[in-house]
Amino acid sequence: MPAGGVGERAEQRAALARLAHERAIDSRVGDWLAACEQDATLTADPLAPQAVNLREIRWTYDRAVKLPASLVEETARHTGAARHAWAAARKHDDFASFAPLLARHVELARQRADCWGWASGGEAWDALAEDYEPDCPARVIEAVFTPLRQRLVELVGRFLEIPGRPAANPAAGIPIDPTAQVGMLREIAAAIGFDFSKGRLDTAAHPFSGSIHPTDVRITTRFDEGNVLEPLSGTLHEAGHGMYTQGQPLEHDHTPMGDAVSLAIHESQSRTWENFVGRSPAFWRWCLPILKGHLGASVAHLSERDVLWATNHVQPTFIRVEADEVTYNLHIMVRFEIERALIGGDLSVDDLPGAWNEKYRDVLGLDVPDDRRGCLQDVHWSSGAFGYFPTYTLGTLYAAQFFEAALHAIPDLHDQFAAGQFTGLCEWQRQHIHSQGKRYRSPQLCEAVTGHALSSEPLVRHLESRLDMLASLG
């Protein structure tokens, strides 16, 4: 879209948001819900599809009716302007030009939170986060993140000191051939279970997964100069999202029972393939010959040791989306603390860059050189999306806990990976997660699948085993 179209696009967004909101809060929807709730046959079993649908449609309706149409419209209109201002501010490293628009987003977010309300003992941030991760208030996240943060900081230090650790990533600097890469990525995505009769893989400026329908899933990848393995990691991630969508139960199409649980559960499915499969020695036993078959002379010199160091190379950096498996979660914790303070009124927008840089020094030991590589790097806040960031780390924690459960059920999972067999894991995900739709909210799904509440212990165990694996490479 040309820059000149920004104003009109914002008006279009505002109009669509208002129309959609008016339909969502139509009083007849409330009447229909009340009538269904009178019918005991629909609610007798709370985990039966009709009861689940009633529960979720009621939740969505109750949230929508609390918002005035004017606020919905204003938020949509402001998002159009703010995203444009953010993109320009990031390009020119000019936080001051974006600050007033971000401050307005914080005000609008507080107004939405006031309309929705929050549980006693909670805070405004909780109400906003419900849009992304229901039933996961800030104090619950804090209780998981606080002990994990210290352990991750310690783990980063231990990763940096592994004897034999190459100073540079062994896959850095290898030139990328996009045509050969796409062929390889399609072969690997198909091998792990991404169904190309119901999906596509293309190149785009940003890696993403667009889930139009379980029968039409579009994933993209991009090629950055610098790391020949990065597109594969990104594709395993997006294919994991795509496989979740492809596995949703078609018999419950267009209802909550046919939909994903939450952003964190979606992310758990992508992180499983990206981190727990794609960085494992067993996976690379199978994948390295495929890599060499497609990419030829440029990667002929890479050994299994090289690719394991490359895919598990831990190094504190400024940019979240380029971060490794260990430091990634520290990037998220910084954002969670900052947005919580912004919404709670403990931090003003003008003080955001300073607070950001201080936390990066504390947590990652880095001096952020400019806001482009600091607080302007992510798009989320320019959309008013406060409460989104923690879902990335929650997803990783769920992935770790689910993967332990899968390994318990299928003890030879790694042998299967080494032989290029991925249906065991994919079918396990299908049965326990994909086909369940929204039957459970995420905390209950975690209990149902693993027998335990969410904990950071499985992730820490996983990272410690990675550390031992790298140390054994020498």
Residues annotated as catalytic (active site), given as ranges: 238
Nearer to Co ion, 133 or 267 (CB): 267
Shortest distance in whole angstroms from residue 233 CB to Co ion:
12
Shortest distance in whole angstroms from residue 31 CB to Co ion:
38
Shortest distance in whole angstroms from residue 396 CB to Co ion:
10
Query: Which residues 7-46 are close enough to bind Co ion by CB under 5 A?
Result: none
Nearer to Co ion, 393 or 436 (CB): 393
Cα–Cα distance, 400 to 20 (Å, whole number): 37
Nearer to Co ion, 126 or 267 (CB): 267
Nearer to Co ion, 204 or 409 (CB): 204
Nearer to Co ion, 230 or 267 (CB): 267
Query: Which residues 225-284 are close enough to bind Co ion by CB under 5 A?
Result: 267, 270
The values of phi and psi at residue 286, to 5°, are: -80, -40
Cα–Cα distance, 127 to 115 (Å, whole number): 9
Shortest distance in whole angstroms from residue 134 CB to Co ion:
18
Shortest distance in whole angstroms from residue 194 CB to Co ion:
14
Shortest distance in whole angstroms from residue 328 CB to Co ion:
11
Nearer to Co ion, 267 or 324 (CB): 267
Handedness of CA 174, 176, 177, 183 (dihedral sign): positive
Cα–Cα distance, 25 to 65 (Å, whole number): 5
Shortest distance in whole angstroms from residue 270 CB to Co ion:
4
Q: How many residues bind Co ion (CB under 5 A)?
A: 2
- Site mask, Co ion, residues 142-181, x = CB under 5 A? ----------------------------------------
- Site mask, Co ion, residues 104-143, x = CB under 5 A? ----------------------------------------
Nearer to Co ion, 275 or 456 (CB): 275
Chain residue whose CB lies nearest Co ion: 270
Binding residues vs Co ion (CB under 5 A): 267, 270
